[in-house]
Amino acid sequence: MSISSSLNAGVAGLSANATRLASISDNIANSATFGYKRVVTDFQSLVIDSSGSKYTAGGVRTTTSRLIDERGSLVSTANPTDLAVRGRGMLPVTPEASVQVGNGVNPLLLTTTGSFRPDEDGFLRSPAGLILMGWAANADGTVPTQPRDSVDGLEPVKINSNQFAGEPTTAINVAVNLPATSTEAGATTGDETLSIEYFDNLGKSANLIMTFTPTVPAVGTANEWNLVIRDSASAGAIIGDYTLDFDPSRAGGGTLLAVADNLGTAPYVPADGTVTLAVAGGPLEITLGTLGSATGLTQLSDTFAPTSISKNGSAVGALTAIEVDPNGFLRASFDSGINRILYQIPLADVSNINGLEALDQQTYRVSPSSGTFFLWDAGDGPTGDVVSFAREESATDVAGELTSLIQTQRAYSSNAKVIQTVDEMLQETTNIKR
């Protein structure tokens, strides 16, 4: 009967608008929740029978969905490990409870923002109990190749605030001017000595002692020097012995003309002007300068002058700060001046981001509706970059929600009025028989 279907349609309308009111309430309640994605309720009409002379009301059905692909604006913070994703992609996290169990199985959850700080065990943890996940770097700061479609390799990010780090010296660039007057007949200048500090594999300091001895001829000018290199870490043992010839021509202008290896253990490479010495901790590359170049060893004027000494490596230093760069690399800074990559934080992406299963604390889980995930380097492929010192605000538009609230209230009242009208009509039908 059509009048009965009207009653059912009115009841369905009340239920549908109550559902919409619930989603609006959630959105408004979370208008200040970082990373919150708003929920929308859609109405679909239900058609029962539209044929014949009588129309039967089918009512309305509702579906709710969370718009995970909508992003809120980013706000600045003072914490370097407050992270937000600018663009597509989500940060991998795992519940604190699974890490505390320690069985090696950490479920993958996804979020677009989080305020992470080291807890008592050093894990980067949010106030909600979510721990950031990433790929651990090797000791040299490189990140090994990891599977992109699996959580294998992902591990909780752990920072030891009391850790120390040092970098061994592997390369030294030497630019020294030797006095041309020292290789003239009758010169009495003698040896010139240069000591260069380097750091071994354990961060200890050692020195290379470079002794330049001029060749003094009986007559004329030799333009030749002998270079002996000793390593203090090897009790002063000689690790390099070279004969240096300089070009006296107007075109050459005191640049290197030839370098001969007297020991035969560390030959000079003319292509890049280097020699590789076997110091106590391993090979150490010294750049003396290419032949004909004015940027390495030279022989000019009457002054011994180390014009430039540059090298890599550093002494052992204590951790002072950590930060995450836009490509997701978590870097540690030490008071010795070095920076080292500790982890890489990938960004996860799925085919249908709105198909993710929503969980507490603004986290999401991969579901059949979302499709499988893939872990991208931040800034690569479809993903955006990682912003530190930032949080993502709620995607709720309070003004829009309040407008929807007014519309919902009016629609609810109208459906209630339909029920009241149907009740009155049924009462009139009942009154026909007295």
- Assigned domain for 323 exists: no
Q: Which two tokens stand for residue 428?
A: 């009139």
Instruction: Tally the domains of the chain.
Output: 3
Question: What pLDDT score does 144 carry?
Answer: 94
- Do 306 and 185 share a domain, yes or no? yes
Residue 120 backbone class (left: φ over 0; alpha: ψ -120 to 50; beta: rest): alpha
- Do 355 and 404 share a domain, yes or no? no
Domain containing residue 282:
169-312
Q: Which two tokens stand for residue 70?
A: 């909508």
- Do 79 and 64 share a domain, yes or no? no
∠ CA 208-214-218 to the nearest 5 degrees? 165
Distance of CA 431 to CAs 2, 364, 420, 423, Å?
A: 19, 57, 17, 12
Question: What pLDDT score does 318 carry?
Answer: 83
d(CA 260, CA 243): 5
Question: Which CATH number is 221's domain given?
Answer: 2.60.98.20
Question: What pLDDT score does 9 carry?
Answer: 87
Residue type, 256: L
- Do 24 and 91 share a domain, yes or no? no
Question: What pLDDT score does 52 carry?
Answer: 63
- pTM for the whole thing? 0.73
Model confidence over 119-133: pLDDT tens digits? 999 999 999 999 999
Q: Which two tokens stand for residue 294?
A: 């004015």
- Do 148 and 177 share a domain, yes or no? no
- Do 177 and 151 share a domain, yes or no? no
pLDDT < 70 regions, the chain: 1, 49-53, 434
Q: 264: which DSSP letter?
A: S
Question: What pLDDT score does 46 carry?
Answer: 80
Using DSSP bridges, classify how beta strands 60-66 and 390-392 pair: parallel, antiparallel or unpaired: unpaired
d(CA 414, CA 408): 10
d(CA 346, CA 343): 10
- Do 133 and 180 share a domain, yes or no? no
Question: What pLDDT score does 406 carry?
Answer: 95
- Assigned domain for 322 exists: no
